């Protein structure tokens, strides 16, 4: 008989061992090897059996063993030392406290002569639909969640006061297995929160906190709040599986990225609206500082802005527009997708149903909600509500996750900023990074701490790796490759048995893969644009590479297709069927159920990390960064972060056949380039050994990779950039808006309304210049402009000259801008402006003028998307400037 409900009964620890529970409930153990060593010592055999899950360990360890440990003085001293180390980690000032005046409160370590420091937010709320913290907390599907997990861990290490917000999915994403013919099978094992390193948020009287959001027809969706402690960072996870909800409501948080339509919308409403309400409850109960900055990690959590607007209208008496300005000032939005298909878009009627009618909030009218997500720009779909568009309209600061992705995003979302050139669209970029403590092998971390002390935290001293012993690096790489091979055999054996193979049919696995053979890794989600099967474009050539008599290659592959993605499942089946072939199955393997644990083994053990997406559809990609920190080399299309940091010596760039209209022809050309690189460069360099058996050129590339990429790919670099370039400025803007009863927000909202109303009448009426007859480099061009301000004040606008090189169509290429001076009134209420343009370069030159809105509280003049241009090019000449 099967149980109708599953739950976890937690062990009552003897008093001397109570600190074990404190250690288990803080997820710092997931990247702290000394704490993991302590858990292993509780019961080494059981630790292995529970797959290194400390909650399961304490749930299954025998009372007799606990009694032994409670009398073991050596273990108790070790437990005490580990608990004290955690306490020091949680309380000692770190980078953030040393760098900033946190929330206006000086650090306790500051002396009287510490000097003035920039004020930074006392709390940043970070919203994400998924988090990859540890395999023991399966609340992630891919790169977005892994990045979010690394963001929280790095915030903990640096002391950045982030408060994470997400959903708790009772079935996680899914566990993957394979059918006998290689088809992906999904299983959704139930997750009991009581069996996870979580605690339930309770009111002071002990009752569980309930967060409620309104639904149509007077209904409501309720959720409880679980708290995970990620080092110093609290993480709130909302869970709708409570008795107060009907079955449909309880199923809202059933699985990650499951369902569609109403189900997906309800998840995102709970994440955004419910997430803000969970924060308010948590801060009220615990005394935690309220967030000054809200970071929306992709559009899924965009509704958080609507809730903050509602709070300000209802609680502070602001109008919707005033509340919008206050909300935008303190909001950061990060986009992670370079393709429209990757963005959540809902039918407008669905949004109207949930935010209109009887469910409409007086403070947040449904027409204003719909306007925020409207694709009301050229090329947009007027029938949909776009979550990323809403996220950008609700955030004053927007960024992509690599330089290339920033450029792609400016093109993709440029319509939101009207007549401004793509280069001026206010979408920046901060390239992703990875959390070294999670992804770098323990042996490498210990070696680095010994040979290159402090580089992981300070980001300095990486050049020292060039002096490290090459035999030592090669020995470590061989150790990690062997570990991967042994674990891959174990996983492969389990997979074949689940597919129905008998013992005699799996004996070959004892010799699958070879610890001494060049090992290439490929692991990621399996949407079509990541091209899992590009390596199989020419199967015979792939076979010859794998089976080369002198320079064999082996490939370890992993990845999950979304359960609804039949095309992705077919790609996996193609790879699996090829890997099942008797002649190559010892050289190419597909390992099912890709998760953090498998990802760690692969990025640590592979010699080469392969990535071949369709350029430019990989926003960033971070798995190659993890491989690089472990001494692996990258073999990748120039996309995402690799486009930014490939230098010709840290790996190999696969040429990309951009611009070809036929996808099959493009795949054919790029696959041929991939094969050639592996055959003639990668494998040749790996197997070219000196008299001592060392591949000297390969090891030179490994050293160069670590020395040059090390300081760049760390998440500490990434998070410092977020703090200094986005969080601190957002907090300052938020304070400017809210000071004096939100005087800044009221002023800016009124100003925008006045400017938008007048703008159709703003016009550049006349442009003239002198000094064009025979200009020379170093001269200056006097420009005079007459503008009709349509009743606006001169301070409301800036009149600018855009100038620089022009192409054959007279289009300005990467122009410079000069703000003209107000030269006083002209006839008919118009205004004169004047200035001198420097002629700093020879060749084809041109200029134009424009009028843009100007206000000290605007972060960029492109914010309103308003620009007035001359009716036709005037007063300019093209020619040679000598």
616 in the same domain as 472: yes
Taking only the tens place, the pLDDT of each residue in 605-640 is: 999 999 999 999 999 999 999 999 999 999 999 999
Q: Does residue 273 register a pLDDT over 80?
A: yes
The enclosing H or E element of 367 equals helix 366-372
**Number of residues that this document lists for the chain:** 882
CATH classification at residue 804: 2.60.40
Token representation of residue 331 = 């909001």
Instruction: Tell me whether residue 726 is in a domain.
Output: no
Label residue 9 by pLDDT band (50, 70, 90).
Answer: low
Instruction: Tell me whether residue 113 is in a domain.
Output: no
Q: What is the pLDDT of residue 495?
A: 96
637 in the same domain as 489: yes
Q: How much is the average pLDDT of 719-724?
A: 97
159 in the same domain as 51: no
Instruction: Tell me whether residue 511 is in a domain.
Output: yes
155 in the same domain as 270: yes
Q: What is the pLDDT of residue 113?
A: 40
Q: What is the pLDDT of residue 874?
A: 47
Which of 256, 289, 322 delimits the end of a domain?
289
Q: Does residue 455 register a pLDDT over 80?
A: no
564 in the same domain as 675: yes
Instruction: Tell me whether residue 864 is in a domain.
Output: yes
Q: What is the pLDDT of residue 828?
A: 83
671 in the same domain as 531: yes
Instruction: Tell me whether residue 321 is in a domain.
Output: no
Question: Chain centroid to CA 865: how far?
Answer: 27
DSSP alpha helix (H) spans, 379-469: 387-393, 403-412, 436-439, 442-451, 455-458
Q: What is the pLDDT of residue 860?
A: 92
Is residue 329 within 8 A of residue 294, CB to CB? The reply is: no
CA dihedral angle for residue 52, residue 58, residue 59, residue 60, rounded to 10 degrees: 70
Instruction: Tell me whether residue 181 is in a domain.
Output: yes
Which of 254, 289, 324 delimits the end of a domain?
289
What count of other Cβ atoms lies within 10 Å of the Cβ of residue 657? 16
635 in the same domain as 525: yes
Q: What is the pLDDT of residue 659?
A: 75
Q: Give the global pTM.
A: 0.94
636 in the same domain as 517: yes
Which of 289, 306, 333 delimits the end of a domain?
289
59 in the same domain as 202: no
Question: Chain centroid to CA 368: how far?
Answer: 29
Q: Does residue 103 register a pLDDT over 70?
A: no
Tell me how far apart the alpha carbons of residues 728 and 339 are, in angstroms, rounded to a whole number: 30
Contacts 24+ apart (CB under 8 A), 877-881: 877/772, 877/846, 878/806, 878/810, 878/844, 878/845, 878/846, 879/844, 879/845, 880/842, 880/843, 880/844, 881/775, 881/776, 881/777, 881/839, 881/841, 881/842, 881/843, 881/845
Residue with tokens 């899992």: 532
Token representation of residue 423 = 């280069």
CA dihedral angle for residue 633, residue 639, residue 641, residue 646, rounded to 10 degrees: 50
Q: State the sign of the Cα–Cα–Cα–Cα dihedral 767, 769, 774, 776.
A: negative
CA dihedral angle for residue 536, residue 541, residue 547, residue 551, rounded to 10 degrees: -110
157 in the same domain as 80: no
790 in the same domain as 847: yes
Taking only the tens place, the pLDDT of each residue in 481-513 is: 999 999 999 999 999 999 999 988 999 999 999
Q: What backbone torsions phi and psi does residue 641 show, to the nearest 5 degrees?
A: -65, -30
Tell me how far apart the alpha carbons of residues 778 and 664 are, in angstroms, rounded to a whole number: 52
Token representation of residue 205 = 């009287």
Q: How much is the average pLDDT of 424-446?
A: 96
Q: Does residue 218 register a pLDDT over 60?
A: yes
Instruction: Tell me whether residue 554 is in a domain.
Output: yes
Q: How much is the average pLDDT of 689-699?
A: 96
For residue 361, what are the β-bridge partners?
Answer: 364
Mean pLDDT of the chain: 92
Tell me how far apart the alpha carbons of residues 527 and 566 are, in angstroms, rounded to a whole number: 10
555 in the same domain as 461: yes
- Give the chain's domain count: 4
CATH classification at residue 520: 3.40.50.2000
Label residue 454 by pLDDT band (50, 70, 90).
Answer: confident
For residue 213, what are the β-bridge partners?
Answer: 221
Q: What backbone torsions phi and psi does residue 168 show, to the nearest 5 degrees?
A: -105, 110
Taking only the tens place, the pLDDT of each residue in 152-171 is: 999 999 999 999 999 999 99
Q: Does residue 105 register a pLDDT over 60?
A: no
Q: What is the pLDDT of residue 340?
A: 79
Q: Which residue segment(s) compose the domain that 220 sits in?
A: 150-289
Taking only the tens place, the pLDDT of each residue in 783-795 is: 999 999 999 999 9
Q: Does residue 697 register a pLDDT over 70?
A: yes
Q: Does residue 879 register a pLDDT over 50?
A: no
Residues 6+ apart with CB under 8 A from 411: 422
Q: What is the pLDDT of residue 880?
A: 37
Least confident of 59-73, 97-111, 750-764, 771-785: 97-111
Instruction: Tell me whether residue 816 is in a domain.
Output: yes
Taking only the tens place, the pLDDT of each residue in 316-327 is: 999 999 999 999
DSSP SS3 for 522: strand
For residue 400, what are the β-bridge partners?
Answer: 429
Taking only the tens place, the pLDDT of each residue in 292-306 is: 999 999 999 999 999
Q: What backbone torsions phi and psi does residue 167 show, to the nearest 5 degrees?
A: -115, 150
Q: How much is the average pLDDT of 804-811?
A: 89
Least confident of 3-17, 88-102, 770-784: 3-17
Token representation of residue 245 = 């909800």
């Amino acid at each position: 008989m099967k149980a109708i409900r599953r739950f976890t009964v937690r062990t009552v620890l003897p008093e001397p061992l109570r600190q074990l529970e404190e250690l288990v409930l803080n997820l710092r153990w997931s990247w702290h090897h000394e704490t993991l060593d302590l858990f292993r010592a509780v019961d080494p055999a059981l630790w292995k059996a529970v797959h290194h899950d400390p909650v399961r360990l304490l749930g299954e360890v025998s009372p007799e063993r606990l009694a032994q440990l409670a009398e073991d003085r050596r273990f108790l001293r070790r437990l005490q030392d580990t608990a004290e180390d955690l306490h020091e980690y949680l309380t000692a000032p770190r980078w953030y406290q040393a760098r900033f005046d946190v929330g206006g409160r000086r650090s306790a370590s500051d002396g009287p002569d510490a000097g003035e420091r920039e004020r930074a937010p006392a709390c940043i709320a970070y919203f994400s639909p998924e988090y990859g913290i540890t395999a023991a907390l399966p609340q992630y599907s891919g790169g977005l969640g892994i990045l979010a997990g690394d963001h929280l861990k790095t915030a903990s290490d640096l002391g950045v006061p982030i408060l994470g917000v997400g959903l708790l999915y009772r079935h996680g994403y899914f566990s993957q297995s394979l059918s006998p013919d290689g088809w992906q099978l999904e299983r959704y094992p139930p997750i009991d929160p009581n069996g996870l390193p979580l605690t339930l948020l309770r009111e002071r009287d002990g009752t569980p906190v309930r967060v409620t959001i309104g639904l149509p027809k007077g209904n409501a969706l309720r959720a409880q709040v679980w708290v995970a402690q990620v080092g110093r960072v609290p993480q709130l996870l909302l869970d709708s599986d409570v008795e107060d909800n009907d079955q449909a409501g309880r199923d809202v948080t059933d699985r990650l990225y499951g369902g569609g339509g109403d189900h997906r919308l309800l998840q995102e409403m709970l994440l955004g609206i419910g997430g803000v309400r969970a924060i308010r409850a948590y801060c009220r109960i615990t005394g935690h500082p309220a967030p000054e900055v809200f970071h929306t990690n992709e559009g899924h959590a965009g509704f958080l802005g609507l809730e903050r607007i509602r709070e300000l209208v209802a609680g502070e008496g602001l109008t919707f527009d005033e509340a919008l300005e206050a909300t935008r000032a303190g909001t950061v939005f990060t986009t992670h997708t370079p393709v429209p298909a990757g963005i959540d878009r809902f039918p407008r009627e669905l949004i109207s149903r949930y935010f209109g009618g009887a469910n409409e909030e007086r403070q947040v009218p449904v027409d204003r909600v719909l306007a925020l997500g409207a694709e009301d720009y050229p090329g947009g779909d007027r029938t949909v509500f776009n979550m990323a568009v809403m996220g950008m309209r609700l955030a004053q600061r927007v960024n992509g996750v690599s330089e290339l992705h920033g450029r792609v995003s400016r093109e993709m979302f440029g319509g939101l900023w009207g007549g401004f050139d793509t280069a001026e669209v206010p979408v920046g970029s901060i390239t992703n990074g990875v959390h070294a403590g999670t992804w770098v092998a323990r042996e490498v971390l210990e070696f680095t701490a010994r040979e290159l002390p402090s580089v992981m935290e300070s980001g300095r001293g990486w050049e020292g790796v060039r002096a490290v012993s090459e035999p030592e690096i090669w020995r470590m790489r061989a150790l990690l490759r062997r570990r991967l091979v042994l674990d891959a055999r174990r996983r492969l054996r389990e997979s074949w048995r689940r597919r129905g193979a008998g013992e005699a049919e799996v004996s070959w696995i004892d010799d699958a893969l070879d610890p001494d053979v060049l090992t290439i890794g490929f692991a990621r989600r399996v949407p079509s644009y990541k091209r899992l099967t590009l390596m199989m474009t020419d199967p015979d050539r792939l076979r010859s590479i794998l089976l080369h008599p002198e320079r064999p290659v082996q490939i370890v592959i992993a990845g999950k297709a979304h359960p609804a993605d039949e095309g992705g499942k077919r790609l996996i089946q193609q790879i699996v069927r090829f890997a099942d072939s008797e002649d190559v199955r010892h050289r190419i393997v597909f390992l099912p159920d890709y998760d953090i644990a498998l990802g760690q083994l692969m990025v640590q053990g592979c010699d080469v990390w392969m990535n071949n997406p369709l350029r430019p559809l990989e926003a960033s990609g971070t798995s190659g960064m993890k491989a690089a920190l472990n001494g692996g080399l990258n073999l990748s299309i120039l996309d995402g972060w690799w486009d930014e940091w490939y230098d010709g010596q840290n790996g190999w760039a696969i040429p990309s056949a951009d611009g070809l209209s036929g996808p099959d022809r493009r795949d054919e050309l790029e696959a041929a380039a991939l094969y050639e690189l592996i055959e003639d460069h990668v494998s040749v360099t790996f197997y070219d050994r000196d008299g001592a058996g060392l591949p000297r050129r390969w090891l030179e590339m490994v050293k160069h990779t670590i020395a040059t990429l090390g300081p760049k790919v760390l998440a500490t670099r990434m998070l410092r950039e977020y703090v200094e370039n986005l969080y601190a400025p957002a907090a300052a803007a938020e304070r400017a808006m809210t000071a004096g009863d939100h005087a800044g927000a009221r002023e800016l909202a009124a100003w925008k309304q006045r400017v938008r109303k007048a703008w159709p009448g703003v016009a550049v009426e006349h442009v003239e210049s002198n000094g064009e007859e025979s200009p020379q480099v170093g001269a200056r061009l006097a420009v005079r402009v007459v503008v009709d301000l349509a009743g606006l004040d001169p301070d409301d606008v800036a009149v600018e000259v855009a100038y620089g090189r022009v192409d054959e169509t007279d289009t300005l290429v990467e122009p410079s801008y000069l703000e003209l001076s107000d030269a006083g009134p002209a006839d008919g209420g118009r205004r004169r402006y004047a200035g001198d343009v420097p002629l700093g370069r020879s060749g084809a030159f041109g200029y134009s003028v424009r009028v843009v809105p100007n206000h000290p509280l605007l972060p960029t003049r492109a914010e309103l998307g308003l620009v007035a241009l001359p009716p036709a090019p005037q007063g300019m000449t093209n020619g040679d400037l000598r």
